[in-house]
Amino acid sequence: MTKPVPKSQMLRVPTVLIPVVRELSRLHREGHTTALLQRLQSVVTELDSKTDIDHYSTNTNHLEEKLEALNNRVAQLEGALIAIQRNGGASNNYRRYKNSGNPYNQSGRPPQIEALDEEKLALRLNVNIPTLKEKHQTLDKREFEEWSKERDRSKYMWRFSEKDKLYHPVK
């Protein structure tokens, strides 16, 4: 046999909600139960939807951050592509190799590396321009040369020239 549902139950309620629960109990005793339940349901639904919106808002912020990072990476790749196109590109090297047999040294002399501006040196050292500027300003001349050597794929040291405002390889 099933137990009959009691008319009321004892519940533990957070202290801050006690006055509200007392008011709800008073309205119930006065016969407003149906209206009360409808309104409470609409309030709960509204609160739940705002919680969902907050959750989606957080996800949207996270997605916006990822999109910003991707945009920055695309800008870096575009800069690298422009630098490659300015320097003749890989296809030009292939044609030179195909025709001469040696794409790097056609004159018989050792190859000479040209001086580079900030953008090209940053690309060569695989750092961004602000990092390059920071290292140039904070490290002394010898430390900067060693730092650039560690970052350079061919282990060249680089020195800044005040005359032409370019970075030159150090022999």
Q: Report the percent of the chain where pLDDT is more than 90.
A: 27
CA distance 74 to 49: 36
Categorize the per-residue pLDDT at 97 as very low, low, confident or very high, splitting at 50, 70 and 90: very low
Where are the domains positioned within the chain? 17-102, 114-171
Tell me the per-residue pLDDT of 104-163, one tens digit each, with 9 for 90 and over. 556 666 667 889 999 999 999 999 999 999 999 999 999 999 999 999 988 999 999 999
pLDDT at 19 over 60: yes
Amino acid identity of residue 125, one-letter, is: L
Which residue has better confidence, 13 or 97? 13
Q: Which two tokens stand for residue 25?
A: 């109990």
Query: Amino acid identity, residue 51?
Result: T
Q: How far are the Cα atoms of 20, 100, 105 from residue 109, in angstroms, in the given order?
A: 91, 15, 7
pLDDT exceeds cutoff 80 at 99? no
